[in-house]
Each structure stands twice: as structure tokens, then as C-alpha cells.
Amino acid sequence: CHLLSALLIACSAAPSAAPTVTLARVPSDGDPERGAQLFPAAPCSICHPGGEEGQGPPLYGPEFDARYPDDESIIRQVRNGRGQMPPLGPEQVSDPDLLDIIAFVRTLHK
């Protein structure tokens, strides 16, 4: 009886699982004006000239926003590559420059 009471008390005191929270796109700490200056010389512009469709898809629009809902998803794509896109390491685009470029990309066709 005491064991059952202790078990019931322990179970009722256990915290319930926190609900999963999906955050809306949070702006990065990047500077979009600096990103606009960096973009033309960045490796990104070879396949996405001016953020438009080139060898790669455009860096704006509903498909882009759905595929890359947050800056972390863009960072993963850039750093890891996928499909025809090669990975770009920090020696090619530094982390601060990448954040600025992402901030610029987020302003395209808005």
C-alpha cells in the first residue's frame, strides 16, 4: 500500500513533456548591407548570380523559404553541400561573412 502511494505521488509529480515549439524565422545577427557587398565575390554568386536562378535555384521565393525556414538550415546547406552544390568551408566563406550574406539573401524579393 505504501509502495503504491509512493509510486502515485512520484508519477503525479513528474513534469509533463514540454510541447514542441517551432520558431518562426528569426533574423540572423548578420548585416544585410555588408552581405550585399560580399555576395558578388562570394562563391555563392557563381551558381546564384545576384541571388537569381543560374546553375542553382534562386535564393528567394516560396520554395526557398519552405526549404530554408531559418538561418541554421542555410548554414547547414552551405557548410555540408548537397546534390550539385559543393560544401563551402569557413576558409571559403567565414562564419561572420556567411551570416552577413544570409541576412542579404533574406532581403531578396521581399
Judge whether residue 6 has pLDDT over 70: no
| CATH, domain 26-105, list 3.90.1170.50, 1.10.760.10, 2.70.170.10, 3.40.605.10 | 1.10.760.10
pLDDT at 19: 41
Residue 5, all three cell numbers: 502511494
Percent pLDDT > 90 in the chain is: 72
Mean pLDDT of the chain: 82
pLDDT tens for 26-65 read: 456 899 999 999 999 999 999 999 999 999 999 999 999 9
CA–CA gap between residue 8 and residue 34 (Å, rounded): 59
What are the extents of the domains in the chain? 26-105
Mean pLDDT of 70-88: 96
Judge residue 14's burial from the number of C-beta atoms within 10 Å of its C-beta, 0-12 exposed, 13-18 middle, 19 or more buried: exposed
CA–CA gap between residue 63 and residue 79 (Å, rounded): 20
Instruction: Say which amino acid occupies 102.
Output: I
Judge residue 59's burial from the number of C-beta atoms within 10 Å of its C-beta, 0-12 exposed, 13-18 middle, 19 or more buried: buried
